[in-house]
Structure 1
Amino acid sequence: MAPIPTPPAEPQDSPDGYVGLDADSAERLARQRGWSTVRSLPPGAIITMEYRVGRLNFEVRDGRVARAWKG
């Protein structure tokens, strides 16, 4: 029997620390900290709700991160 795959580890990083940063700096920082996918979205964007390990989402308003969350 094949072993059950282990999902990749998620960075030990709080999304709250990105709020208020300019979007480009926040994305660079997130990638440096190990996030494999960083998604920047406008306020009210319609998105899928599947959870993806290693993905960090930013809601960007006026060039700054207004909200950040995992998945």
Structure 2
Amino acid sequence: MAPIPSHPAHPDDAPESYVGLDAEGAERLARSRGWSTVRSLPPGSIITMEYLAGRLNFEVEDGTVTRCWHG
């Protein structure tokens, strides 16, 4: 199966590489890799389902990234 292409506004970066990192360090790393917007959310946050190209979302619990996704 062919790989899923990334959106042109997305850096060539794997979201799963941020899981387990401390939230502040993960945000600095994401910005250095070219993400224009980085959003940290507590577990179970209610968020809109709008997709924003160039945004990386972190779910953060106790200062550690537990989940990460584009948009």
- Using the size of structure 2 for normalisation, the TM-score is 0.88
| Structure 1 runs, 4 residues or longer, greater than 4 Å off | none
Which residue does the alignment assign to 1:58? 58
* Matched residue type, 2:61: R
Identical pairs, percent: 74
Aligned length: 65
Matches of 1:58 and 1:10, distance apart in 2: 15
* Matched residue type, 1:42: P
Matches of 1:19 and 1:34, distance apart in 2: 18
RMSD value over aligned CA atoms? 1.2
* Residue 47 of structure 1: how far off its partner (Å): 0.3
Deviations 1:36-63 (A, max 9, x none): 0000000000001111100000000010
Which residue does the alignment assign to 1:27? 27
Structure 1: state its 5+ residue gaps. Answer: 1-6
Which residue does the alignment assign to 2:43? 43
Whichever of the two has the greater Rg, that structure is 1
Aligned residue for 1:38, secondary structure, equals strand
